Structure 1
Amino acid sequence: MTDAQPAPPPKIGPNDLIRFLLEVFAIVSLGIFGFVAFDLPWPGLLIGIGAPLLAILLWALFRSPKAVFAVDPFVKALVEIAVFSSAAIAWWIMGQPVVAVVFAVVAAVSGIINGRKEFGD
Structure 2
Amino acid sequence: MDETPSLTISFRNLEPSPSLETEVRRRASKLMKIGRERLIACHVVISAPNRRRQQGKLYAVNLRLELPRGSLPINRNPPMDHAHEDAHVAIHDAFDAALRRLAEFRRRINGRVKTHAAKSPHARGARDSHAEEPES
Common fold, TM-score beyond 0.5? no
Q: Which structure: greater helix fraction?
A: 1
Greater RCO (Cα-Cα under 8 Å, separation 6 or more): 1
Q: TM-score range by the shorter chain?
A: under 0.3
Computing the radius of gyration from Cα coordinates, the structure with the larger value is 2
Q: Which structure: greater strand fraction?
A: 2
